[in-house]
């Protein structure tokens, strides 16, 4: 272990009133600067990329969709670094390897990139849409590579109409931990919920590219981001004491993602939650809520120990095993050990604890202490509510319930204003007329462009970081 590693910071109000049970904390995790990662750092040969392009018949209407999709794929290929394994897949009601044609992965270099661009230039739209089949082929192809950082880009313009919904669900489940996937919908004839299901399950992003002309720039950024990842999969390991219950674990920045259901047991009273791959200097925030047994005034306890681990049970397939280590006190560099740490989980084979943070509970009769709201917790609670209010409001609008839609989207406007989420506020203003942002007084617009509504939906989970770090 080198000294250049992850950092973990815990922000909370640890004081509870007599009888209090709910302990909330924001855990900020920051990766080491570019080129300074230890443990799971990946070189070019440890990376693999697959670009999945919808080639169904609808991509020809208008023809600019397939033309720009080919150009975007070529632009992404140009960004793939030498030595990275890569492939291109065409998706219709079946999935077909475009390059290499044998269903394996090629090693990126000037010659293979040129060959790939040549094959992509020949793509022609025809057939239907079966995204689960596309994902399963990608999973199979990734399986031929020893790469630890596995990432895919999936582009579609339509709905998953040529396979049963359970096929897509099964494919997502099968691909969890095998690779991450960023999803893009071009135009406005696709379903946000379908792509969000894929991106959420595969720890990626989802967005709309309403104008096909914007695809190339978006693909370049996605591939550049993928090339910037330097640490393969790590997980949050959360240990809680006996008679305590972990209510939820959510990523809250840069976007809201509920990880609660992704728990993998990692020892007595401990579980791992996947976080995916990390770029140099990347920072994310997580919200933990633990319900502990009530205690008397003056007592204190460790409500949770949060460890960042590499090579864990919760990590993705393909992660390289690392020597088992244990962490010391919060913020300290972990020392080599075969133990899981006092009070922590049982030792796990092939895991490395990169850093730890502690969540505490102290019972007090000082009302000034126990009623103080942690600004970090309050901020991200509001951001999570903002995302849910937008999605609920858009669903109510779709169902014709104008009263509920107005109430939910009005609440979203107020939350966006309070938190300084300017980007979301701008998107909301395209769906509602904002009368008073402070109170959330709005009026539904009678006519809303489909692209504006879908942009608000896809980007509803994006958050802004709290201005206060305390």
What tens digit of pLDDT does each residue of 17-46 get? 999 999 999 999 999 998 776 544 455 569
Lowest mean pLDDT among 22-31, 60-69, 206-215, 334-343: 334-343
Tell which residue, 90, 88, 82, has the closest CA to residue 107. Answer: 82
Omega prior to 62 cis, within 30 of 0? yes
Tell which residue, 150, 158, 206, has the closest CA to residue 179. Answer: 150
337 Cβ partners below 8 Å, 6+ apart? 324, 325, 326
Tell which residue, 180, 135, 153, 190, has the closest CA to residue 73. Answer: 153
Between CA 57 and CA 72 the distance in angstroms is: 18
Between CA 179 and CA 136 the distance in angstroms is: 11
388 Cβ partners below 8 Å, 6+ apart? none
- Tokens representing 445? 């617009």
Contact 140, 39 (CB under 8 A): no
- Note the residue count of the chain: 470
Q: Can you say whether residue 271 is alpha, beta or left, with left for phi > 0 and alpha for psi between -120 and 50 degrees?
A: beta
Model pLDDT, residue 34: 84
Domain boundaries, the chain: 7-34+231-368, 44-227, 375-458
Taking only the tens place, the pLDDT of each residue in 117-133 is 999 999 999 999 999 99
396 Cβ partners below 8 Å, 6+ apart? 402, 404, 405, 408
- Tokens representing 69? 């999709």
CATH fold for domain 375-458: 1.20.120
As its CATH architecture, domain 44-227 has 3-Layer(aba) Sandwich (3.40)
Supply φ then ψ for residue 394, to 5 degrees.
Answer: -65, -35
Contact 414, 440 (CB under 8 A): yes
Output the CA torsion sign for 427, 432, 438, 439: negative
Between CA 51 and CA 69 the distance in angstroms is: 11
Neighbours of 346 (CB within 10 A): 12
pLDDT band at 468 (very low <50, low <70, confident <90, very high): low
Average pLDDT, the chain: 90
Between CA 454 and CA 291 the distance in angstroms is: 37
Q: Are strands 47-54 and 149-156 parallel, antiparallel or unpaired?
A: parallel
Class of domain 7-34+231-368: mainly beta
Between CA 388 and CA 369 the distance in angstroms is: 30
**Residue 342 pLDDT exceeds 50:** no
pTM reported for the whole predicted model: 0.90
**Residue 349 pLDDT exceeds 50:** no
Rounded mean pLDDT of 443-454?
98
- Tokens representing 375? 């600004």
């Amino acid at each position: 272990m080198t000294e250049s590693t992850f950092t973990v910071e815990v922000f909370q109000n640890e004081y509870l009133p007599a009888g209090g049970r709910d302990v909330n904390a924001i855990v900020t995790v920051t990766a080491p600067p570019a080129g300074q990662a230890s443990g799971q750092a990946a070189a070019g040969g440890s990376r693999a990329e697959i670009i999945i392009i919808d080639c169904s018949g609808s991509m020809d209407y208008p023809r600019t969709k397939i033309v720009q999709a080919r150009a975007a794929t070529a632009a992404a290929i140009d960004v793939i670094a030498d030595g990275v394994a890569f492939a291109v897949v065409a998706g219709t009601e079946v999935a077909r390897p475009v390059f290499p044609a044998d269903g394996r992965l090629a090693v990126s270099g000037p010659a293979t990139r040129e060959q790939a661009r040549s094959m992509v230039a020949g793509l022609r739209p025809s057939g239907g849409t079966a995204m689960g089949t596309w994902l399963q082929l990608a999973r199979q192809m990734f399986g031929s590579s020893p790469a630890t950082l596995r990432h895919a880009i999936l582009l579609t313009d339509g709905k998953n109409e040529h396979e049963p919904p359970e096929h897509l669900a099964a494919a997502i489940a099968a691909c969890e931990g095998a690779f991450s996937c960023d999803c893009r919908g071009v135009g406005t004839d696709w379903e946000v919920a379908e792509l969000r299901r894929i991106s959420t399950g595969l720890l990626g992003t989802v967005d709309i590219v309403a104008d096909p002309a914007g695809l190339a720039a978006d693909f370049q950024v996605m591939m550049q981001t993928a090339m910037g990842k330097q640490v393969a999969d790590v997980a949050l390991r959360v240990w809680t004491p006996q008679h305590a219950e972990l209510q939820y674990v959510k990523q809250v920045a840069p976007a809201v993602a509920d990880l609660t259901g992704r728990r993998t047991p990692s020892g007595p009273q401990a579980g791992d939650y996947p976080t995916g791959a990390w770029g140099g200097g990347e920072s994310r925030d997580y919200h933990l809520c633990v319900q502990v047994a009530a205690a008397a005034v003056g007592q204190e306890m460790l409500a949770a120990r949060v460890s960042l681990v590499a090579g864990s049970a919760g990590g993705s397939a393909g992660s390289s095993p690392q020597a088992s280590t244990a962490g010391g006190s919060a913020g300290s560099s972990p020392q080599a050990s075969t133990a899981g740490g006092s009070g922590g989980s049982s030792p796990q084979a092939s895991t490395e604890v990169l850093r730890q943070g502690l969540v505490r509970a102290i019972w007090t009769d000082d009302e000034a202490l126990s009623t103080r709201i942690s600004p970090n917790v309050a901020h991200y609670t509001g951001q999570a509510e903002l995302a849910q209010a937008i999605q609920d409001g858009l669903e109510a609008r779709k169902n014709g319930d104008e009263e509920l839609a107005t109430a939910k989207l009005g609440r979203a406007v107020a939350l966006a204003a309070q938190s300084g989420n300017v980007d979301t506020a701008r998107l909301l203003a395209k769906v509602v007329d904002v009368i008073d942002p402070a109170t959330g007084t709005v009026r539904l617009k009678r006519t809303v462009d489909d692209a504006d509504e879908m942009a608000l939906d896809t980007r509803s989970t994006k958050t802004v970081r709290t201005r206060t770090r305390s």
